[in-house]
Structure 1
């Protein structure tokens, strides 16, 4: 469902050129659960951002469901992200002055659906992650693990085909991290969601179907 062909990413300033990725060739098949591992600064998050259409490669081609997105305009890219891809971040990225239910509804504001349907879908997503009773709470009233579950509910509320998770357990203790991993495993098994997860944890990576290793901006085998 996602193909990266000869991807390179270079950041240029007046004084220095930084090569973040080079010669990346990677196919993500529908229904896979994949982990990405590598040392800090090796290009993992850059790779995930390109997969999620949040960043453009300096060179190479990205295909989604067999179609190249090279010629897509910003509006087309935004629409594709909103309809096909869900994001989970290490730092949750919840809006503190919005209630839990409103945070989860946010991705749906860009779709042509009614307020009633948005609320129904958001409530169902929160129920899926075990937080239906917390809809009226604010993020500051929740534990770190609960906030990450809200972030997962927000990521899945639009029923994405691809879920990208950047260190989703990185700010949590082992118990809370295991709970988050169990939710991801359930989404993969029961909903057939394709998941790509960046992690530093070897034990979590072993629970995925395939591990991709990145070193100095390149895939290593």
Structure 2
């Protein structure tokens, strides 16, 4: 599903060069739930951005669903992101001036139409029902708790039925009880067929996934199977 081959990522300015990732070789199979851990600044977010096609490597190849995307243009990358990848962010990235329902509908604005013939609004409602927020559709983000905001973010990520979900610290801003609830939703989505990659600082959350990859100073220093897919 996701393959990274000989990945190196270098950030350059006029006066400094920073090696963010080096010699990354990683293959994630369909329906796998993989967690990524490591200290701050080790390259976790950079790796997530490469998987999500938000950035391209300085060297090496990224494959998504068997497609080598390294030479794709911006338009092709945007289309592939919209069709195959859902993003969940630690800070939610909701638009405060839009209702919960409108926030969830946003990814569908860039699609021509749903194969089932359902409207964007119906699909957004279904996504919110899946995360238990059907009674909050008309609310605005500033009227929600942190856990509810994260549920909205998950609904927005899954509304287009992506094959891949990338979650960057999805429980990082939540208390343990709410974090466990969010993790349960992710586990259910994975059980239903989604491939999930999650960045986390929480060892207890990582242990609930299939596989744990550890990074340090831009390199992979561990790759452990925790559960079979």
TM-score between both structures, scaled by the size of structure 1: 0.97
Match of 1:149 among 140, 147, 151: 151
How do 1:45-194 residues align onto structure 2 when only pairs under 5 Å count?
A: 45-113=45-113, 117-189=119-191, 191-194=192-195
Question: Which blocks of at least 5 consecutive residues in structure 1 are unaligned?
Answer: none
CA distance in 2, matches of 1:210, 1:46: 19
TM-score between both structures, scaled by the size of structure 2: 0.94
- Return the offset for 1:72: 1.1
How far apart are 1:47 and its partner, in Å?
0.1
CA distance in 2, matches of 1:206, 1:67: 30
Q: Give the length in aligned residue pairs.
A: 220
Which secondary structure does the structure 2 equivalent of 1:72 belong to?
A: coil
Task: List, as ranges, runs of 4+ consecutive aligned residues in structure 1 with deviation greater than 4 Å.
Answer: none
Look up the match of 2:33.
33
Residue-by-residue CA offset, 1:128-170 (whole Å, 9 max, x unaligned): 0000010000000000000000000000000000000000011
RMSD value, Cα: 1.1
Counterpart contact for 2:56–2:70, Cα < 8 Å = no
**Cα offset, 1:69, TM superposition:** 1.0
Partner of 1:201: 202
- What are the Cα deviations for residues 70-115 of structure 1, in whole angstroms up to 9, with x where unaligned? 2211111000000000000000000000000000000000001289
- For structure 2, the residue ranges without an aligned partner over 5 or more in a row are 223-229
CA distance in 2, matches of 1:132, 1:112: 25
Shift of 1:15: 1.7
Alignment match, 2:22: 22
2:191 is equivalent to residue 212 of structure 1: no
